[in-house]
C-alpha cells in the first residue's frame, strides 16, 4: 500500500496483539486511543476457567461477545458463562 494513499487512515498497523497472562491466550487490545476513533477493542482467548472477583465499571457502553472456537459453528462455545450486572 502506498504511504500517500487516501485510504491509509483505514488501516492500523500498530501492534495490538498482547500476551495477557491471566487470559491464557493471545489478546487484541486497543483501549487507549490506538484506533484513532471513539471506541475501544478487547478480544481475549480464554483457554482455562477464570473468575473476575473484583467489581469494576466503565464510563462507556461495553459489548460482550462470546465466540466458540470452531469456525464452522461459533455458537458452540463449549463452556458456561456466568456474570453479574449491577448486583443482579
Residues 10-42: tens digit of each pLDDT? 777 668 888 888 887 788 888 887 787 777 888
Domain contains 19:
yes
- For residues 27 and 44, the answer to whether their CB atoms sit within 8 Å is yes
From the list 34, 54, 36, 49, the residue with the least C-alpha distance to 81 is 49
Confidence of residue 9 (pLDDT cuts 50, 70, 90): confident
Q: How many CA atoms lie within 13 A of 13 on its CB side?
A: 5
In whole angstroms, what is the distance from residue 49 CA to residue 18 CA? Answer: 20
Domain contains 74:
no
Containing domain of residue 36, as a range?
13-44
Give the count of domains, the chain: 1
Confidence of residue 73 (pLDDT cuts 50, 70, 90): very high
Amino acid at each position: 500500500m502506498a504511504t500517500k494513499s487516501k485510504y491509509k487512515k483505514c488501516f492500523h498497523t500498530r501492534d495490538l496483539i498482547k500476551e495477557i497472562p491471566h487470559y491464557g491466550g493471545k489478546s487484541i487490545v486497543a483501549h487507549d486511543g490506538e484506533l484513532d476513533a471513539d471506541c475501544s477493542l478487547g478480544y481475549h482467548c480464554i483457554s482455562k476457567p477464570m473468575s473476575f472477583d473484583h467489581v469494576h465499571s466503565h464510563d462507556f457502553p461495553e459489548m460482550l461477545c462470546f465466540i466458540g472456537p470452531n469456525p464452522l459453528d461459533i455458537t458452540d462455545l463449549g463452556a458456561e458463562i456466568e456474570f453479574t450486572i449491577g448486583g443482579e
